[in-house]
């Protein structure tokens, strides 16, 4: 039986804590809030799926033109350029995630859409699945997907090198640390799925990447990345919904990805946003710039206006016995201080 939709911040925290307790330790979950109508676009699908033939054009143009607008990474750091592009509305093969559950809840509810959802991801398990899929390939297919080349080498030599690297991947999966799954002798494992973004999906180079998206902790470049506690997943050869990819490769989502469905009622979402603001999560804290400060002040003014139009407490039908911690917010926090 499906869980009832979440109607408050407190309920959201309770559900997340309960689900997280079922995952093996240690586990540092990532979260993503999606607010668009899921009937119009598959969940957890990268935006570049709608611009596949233009991906390289978008990235190259962004790198060429961005220099006059902001502090930029070195030209050759294609990973950092990809992160930066994703954070500035360029359609990429990345999905934004955060280490903060309440930040994801803000993104899910901020646009007051009908089908808000927060996803919780086990990033370690996702990378483990990606590695297992790479190890299951034939050595030559493995070499092709990763763009492995040896100068003047015969196919047998390439195959032998590919086998060695597949064995090294197996050793990585035996280590307990999440970071070990991103480290590979001589290269960064996450780059397996980054390279196709700059090579027209690997049409010419053959570097098409892994079928399963890979999780990559972000190298922070801007204040907003720090504020949002940003991290990314990078799709590889398949630009489908992450949900369908995991179900196809693992058979079940339970150990990888858990959705938390939020009530689509606009008033409920407004209450959630009001409670998040009380907890310090809002426009200006997530996007630390003057434009978002203006939006946050506008939202605060709307809440104040709504409070002024409410009936005085003594005249309300629920009477004076209504707990003071509940009110219109639903946090229901009990004070432990002096009376």
Q: Tell me: the pLDDT tens digits for 32-73?
A: 999 866 556 788 999 999 998 999 999 999 999 998 777 889
Check the CA dihedral 292-275-218-208 and report its sign. negative
Q: Is residue 3 a part of any domain in this protein? A: no
Nearest CA to 203 out of 147, 130, 143 is that of: 147
pLDDT at 319: 43
Using 50, 70 and 90 to split pLDDT, how confident is the model at 189? low
Q: Is residue 51 a part of any domain in this protein? A: no
| Residue 275 sits in the same domain as residue 126 | no
Using 50, 70 and 90 to split pLDDT, how confident is the model at 330? very low
| Residue 250 sits in the same domain as residue 293 | no
| Residue 202 sits in the same domain as residue 303 | no
| Residue 107 sits in the same domain as residue 240 | yes
Question: Looking at the DSSP assignment, which residues form a beta bridge with residue 5?
Answer: none
**Ranges 117-121, 127-131, 149-153, 160-164, most confident:** 117-121
What's the domain range around 284? Answer: 266-309
Domain boundary among 198, 227, 261: 261
| Residue 143 sits in the same domain as residue 242 | yes
| Residue 197 sits in the same domain as residue 103 | yes
Across the chain, what does the average pLDDT equal? Answer: 83
The total number of structural domains in the chain stands at 2
Q: Is residue 196 a part of any domain in this protein? A: yes
| Residue 173 sits in the same domain as residue 298 | no
Using 50, 70 and 90 to split pLDDT, how confident is the model at 16? very high
| Residue 285 sits in the same domain as residue 247 | no
Q: Is residue 179 a part of any domain in this protein? A: yes
């Amino acid at each position: 039986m499906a869980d009832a939709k979440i109607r408050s911040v407190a309920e959201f925290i309770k559900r997340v804590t309960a689900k997280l307790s079922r995952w093996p330790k240690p586990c540092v979950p990532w979260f993503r809030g999606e607010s668009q109508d899921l009937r119009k676009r598959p969940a957890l699908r990268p935006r570049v799926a709608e611009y596949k033939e233009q991906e390289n054009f978008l990235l190259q143009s962004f790198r060429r033109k961005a220099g006059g607008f902001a502090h930029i990474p070195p030209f050759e750091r294609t990973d950092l350029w990809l992160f930066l592009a994703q954070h500035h509305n360029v359609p990429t093969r990345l999905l934004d995630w955060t280490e903060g559950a309440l930040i994801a809840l803000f993104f899910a509810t901020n646009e007051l859409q009908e089908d808000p959802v927060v996803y919780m991801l086990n990033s370690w398990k996702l990378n483990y699945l990606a590695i297992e899929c790479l190890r299951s390939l034939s050595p030559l297919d493995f070499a092709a997907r990763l763009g492995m080349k040896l100068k003047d080498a015969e196919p047998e030599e390439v195959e032998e090198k590919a086998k060695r690297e597949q064995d090294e991947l197996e050793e990585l999966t035996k280590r307990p640390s999440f970071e070990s799954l991103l480290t590979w002798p001589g290269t960064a494992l996450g780059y397996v799925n980054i390279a196709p973004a700059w090579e027209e999906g690997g049409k010419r180079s053959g570097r098409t990447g892994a079928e399963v998206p890979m999780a990559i902790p972000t190298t922070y470049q801007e204040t907003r990345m720090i504020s949002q506690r940003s991290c990314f997943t990078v799709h590889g050869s398949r630009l489908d919904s992450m949900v369908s990819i995991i179900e196809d490769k693992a058979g079940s989502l339970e150990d990888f990805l858990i959705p938390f469905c939020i009530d689509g009622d606009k008033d409920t979402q407004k209450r959630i946003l009001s409670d998040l603001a009380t907890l310090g999560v809002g426009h200006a804290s997530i996007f630390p710039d003057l434009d978002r400060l203006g939006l946050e002040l506008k939202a605060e003014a709307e809440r104040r206006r709504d409070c002024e139009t409410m009936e005085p407490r003594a005249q309300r039908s629920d009477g004076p016995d209504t707990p003071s911690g509940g009110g219109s917010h639903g946090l229901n926090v009990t004070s432990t201080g002096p009376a």
